[in-house]
Structure 1
Amino acid sequence: MFEVLVFVYENYWRGDACPEPEQLGRKLSAHGFEADEIHAALQWLDELSVATQGVPLQREADASRVTIGARAMGEAALAPASDSMRIYSAAEQDHLGAECLGFIHFLQAAGVLAGGLREIVIERAMATSGQPVALDELKIILLMVHWSSGIEPDALVLDELCDGREGRTAH
């Protein structure tokens, strides 16, 4: 499924430029992807589209409330306080693994992953098979969440998400 998602990301730079699912399915099939991979990816993308509805985060008149994801349909969520802490369930810890959880924390601590987007990333990661999710797969999920929401990641974040660790020199 992740190969399909990478293909979609590379060929449709913006989420709103992506064709309808039926047409996209035909294009993916023509490029040689297996039917089960295409089906899983299209379903995942459809659920991503629903999850990112209303993103980017829209502050309401009451600054303590923010609309995120599928909650845009009238139900507002409280914006996380600056001193709040995200507690991961046992299922999330098992499925995401320490490396992915550490990477999510790194992005959030660096101020490049807002709480609302973090929740969408976690929800989409939980919707994947395989346990634990590999860090490279989480990076694809992060790219796709940004892609679907229309938010362009910071250049340094994009570099971190797109480049592998091979050949990097630690300072």
Structure 2
Amino acid sequence: MRERVLAIVSIITQYVLGERDTVTENDIVEELLAVGFDADEIDAAFSWMQNVGSAAPGKTRELTEVRSQRIFTAEEKRDITADARGLLIRLRTLGILDDEAQEEIIDRAMQVADDPVSLKEMKAIAALTLFSRNHEEWRREVDCFLDDDWVRLYH
């Protein structure tokens, strides 16, 4: 179920990033039901997104020099794939994540970790976490790493 909930979260994120202003929550729910997701999965996705959004209200972006490297625990290494951990390290090194955002993303990933969290799942979790902090400020960065467009992040 976790993969399906994250798939729903990813679809909803694409709606928001796609600037579909005329689409309502009901429209999204109807479309998700039509493609085979069930109501419990959709509710779980919206609840998860709401929790992510309420975790850090009013946070603003501050780029700071990376001075330390986070060491993943044995449990985190077991529950988060190497590629997904690599994404977090890369985002942190680029200054896209601060310590607080990185910890929040890791906490969210560990909450859904029945199977190891994949790179695709980590991208969705990271995108939603950053997006919940400040929609417009993080829009470009979220678009870039969801599309694997790392060159655009450097310029």
Asked if Structure 1 and Structure 2 have the same fold, meaning a TM-score greater than 0.5 normalized by the shorter chain, the answer is yes
Check whether the contact 1:57–1:116 (CA below 8 A) recurs between aligned residues.
no
Q: Is the 8 A contact 1:44 1:127 kept in 2?
A: no
What is the identity percentage for the equivalent residue pairs of Structure 1 and Structure 2? 26
Larger Rg: 1
Cα distance between partner residues in 1 of 2:131 and 2:147? 13
1:57: how far off?
5.2
Cα distance in structure 2, aligned partners of 1:155 and 1:45 = 20
Cross-structure match for 1:106: 90
Structure 1 residues without counterparts, runs of 5 or longer? 59-79, 165-171
For 1:107 and 1:113, locate their aligned partners in 2 and report how far apart those are by CA, in whole Å. Answer: 6
Say how many residue pairs are matched.
136
Cα distance, 1:156 vs structure 2: 6.1
Per the normalisation by structure 1, the TM-score is: 0.65
RMSD between superposed Cα atoms in Å: 3.0
More strand by share: 1
In the alignment, the residues of structure 1 paired with residue 141 and residue 51 of structure 2 have an alpha-carbon distance, to the nearest angstrom, of 28
Q: Which amino acid aligns with 1:160?
A: F
Give a deviation string over 1:16-70, Cα, whole Å, max 9, x none: x8x9xxx83x444311231121122022112102222232258xxxxxxxxxxxx
Q: TM-score, normalising length from structure 2?
A: 0.71
Q: CA deviation at 1:147?
A: 1.7
Q: Which position in structure 1 is the counterpart of 2:41? A: 37
Structure that is richer in helix per residue: 2
Alignment of 1:1-171 (within 5 A): 1-13=5-17, 24=25, 26-31=26-31, 32=33, 33-56=37-60, 82-151=66-135, 152-153=137-138, 155=140, 158-163=143-148
TM-superposed deviation, 1:2: 1.9
Question: Which stretches in structure 2 are left out of the alignment for 5+ residues?
Answer: 150-155
Distance 1:119 1:27, change over 3 A: same
Distance 1:34 1:129, change over 3 A: farther
Counterpart CA distance in 2 for 1:82 and 1:130 is 31
